[in-house]
Amino acid sequence: MKQELTERGLAKLIKDRPAEGRIEVSDTKRPGLRFRLSSSGQAVWMYEKRVKGDPKRKHTLGKHSKEFGLAEARAQALLLEVEAAQGIDRVAINKAKQLDEGAAKLRAQSIRKVLDLYDDLHLSNLRTGTERRKQIEQALEDKLDLPIASLRRSDLQLAIDQKASAQHKTAANRVRAALKAFTKWAAGRDHIPSDIGLELPKPFKETSRKRAPSIDEVRAIWEATYKLGNLWGPPLRLLILTAQRRQEIFGLKWSEVDFGAATITKSGDHTKNAQEHVTHLSPPAMAELRTLKDASADESTSFIFTTTGTTPISGFSQIKARLDKLLGEDFEPWRLHDLRTSFATAMVEAGIPENVADRVLNHSAVGSSPSAVARVYNRAEMLEQRAHALDLWAKLVTNTAGSVVFFGEAGNAKKV
C-alpha cells in the first residue's frame, strides 16, 4: 500500500497491527522508503533505490523508535538517494568491507596452518601427498610460523635456488612444482592476495634418461647385492627381478604377496598410475621371498623390508653409494630406475612384444582411455605373457638363460 506517512498514521498502524504476517506501507513523499510492520509489533524502516548504472539495492535503515522516527528515516533515505545518483553503491561497499575483513583474517593465519588445511583438503587425496607436504615444509622451514601474507616470491625462489645450487636438479624442479601448486591453491582461497608462485622459472630442463645398463652390467649389479648383507640385498634383488618401481618393492607388504599364485598385487593406492597391478614372481623371486618368510620372526610385521616393523626401509642413498663402490669407478653412472629400461630393452630385443613389456612395467596405455574390452584384456589375458617375460628376464639376470626358448613375432623358435 502507498500513502504519505505521518507519525500519527504510524502510531495507528502499530496499534492496529495485523494478527499474523506483516504489512508494508510505501511513503509517497519519499519514494522508495517503506515502513514494515509484523504481527509481533516489530517495525522496521526499509529503503530501495536503483544505483546509477547498477541494479536496485535494498537497505535496512533500522528499527522504528522514538529516536529513529519518520523524519530520521526520510533523512537517511535522502542521503542514500543522493549517493545512488552519484553511483555510490553502499551495499557493494559494505560487502567489500566484509570480504576485506575476512581476507585479513585468512591472511593472518600462519603458513603452517594454511599448509595443514591444504593437506586436509587437497594433499590427502593425492598418492604423492605426503611427499608434497614434506617438500613444502622443508622449503619453507624457517617461515612456517609466520603469517602467510608475509610470504614473498623471493622466499620461494630462494628455496628452489638452494636445491639447484647443490646440483639437485630433479629435486629443485619438484620443489618448484610443489610450491607453485600450494600458492595457487592459497591464492584461490584468498589466503594470499595473488599467486606469487605463478611465474617461478624452472631451474633445470629435464630430459628423459636414455641409460639402459647392459645385461652384463645388470648381472654385475645383481652379484654386488650379495655383498650388501641381508637387509638390503634381498629388496634390491627382488627389485631387479620384478622390474617394478623402487617404492613399490621397498614398501612391499606380506599381504600383497600370493605364494600360491606366485604374484604380487598392488592396489591403485600404491601404484604410480593409480591402477591395480599384478606382477608375476619368477622362481628366483619366489626363492628370495620364501627365504625371507622362513626367517621372519615377527608374524605381526606387515612390511617385508623394514627395520622398525611399522615403516619400510630407508637410507637408500647410502646403500647406493656402497653399491657403486663395489661396482668400481669404471662402471658408468646409473640409477635404479635404469634397470626398468634395461628390462624393456632386453625383452624387446628378445622378441617380447612391446605392449607386454609395458604392462609388466605398469605403464599407462598410450593414447586415450582404453575400452572396457582392452582393460580386461590387458589385466587378464596378458598375465601369462607377462609371466613368461619376467621368467625370461630372471634367467638372463641370473645368467641361466642358455636353456630358455621363446618365440618371436614370426613364431620362430630362438634360444638365448
pLDDT reported for residue 206: 66
For residue 177, give every residue at least 6 positions away whose Cβ sits within 8 Å of its Cβ, in sequence order, or none: none
The domain defined by 107-188 folds into DNA polymerase; domain 1 (1.10.150)
Question: What nine digits make up the cell of 347?
Answer: 625383452
Q: pLDDT higher for 145 or 371?
A: 145
> Domain extents for the chain?
2-88, 107-188, 215-415
Please state the rounded mean pLDDT for residues 51-57.
80
Q: Is the pLDDT of residue 415 over 70?
A: no
Please provide the DSSP assignment of 80-109 as one string.
HHHHHHTT--HHHHHHHHHHHHHHHHHHHS
The domain defined by 2-88 folds into Double Stranded RNA Binding Domain (3.30.160)
pTM of the predicted structure, to 2 decimals: 0.54
Predicted confidence (pLDDT) per residue in 67-80, tens digit = 999 999 999 999 99
CATH number corresponding to 215-415: 1.10.443.10
pLDDT reported for residue 207: 66
Predicted confidence (pLDDT) per residue in 167-222, tens digit = 788 889 999 999 999 999 999 988 998 999 999 998 887 666 678 999 999 999 99
Point out the least confidently predicted range of 287-291, 294-298, 346-350.
294-298
pLDDT reported for residue 316: 87
Please provide the DSSP assignment of 352-388 as one string.
--HHHHHHHHTPPPSSSPPPHHHHHIIIIITHHHHHH
Point out the least confidently predicted range of 275-289, 360-374, 387-401.
360-374
Using a 10 angstrom Cβ sphere, with 0-12 exposed, 13-18 middle and 19 or more buried, the burial of residue 11 is exposed
Answer yes or no: are the C-beta atoms of 62 and 48 closer than 8 Å.
no
Quote the Cα angle for 368-373-255, to 5°.
95
What is the band of 374 on the pLDDT scale with cuts at 50, 70, 90? very low
Q: How far apart are CA 256 and CA 276, in angstroms?
A: 11
Q: Is the pLDDT of residue 365 over 70?
A: no
Average pLDDT taken over every residue of the chain? 86
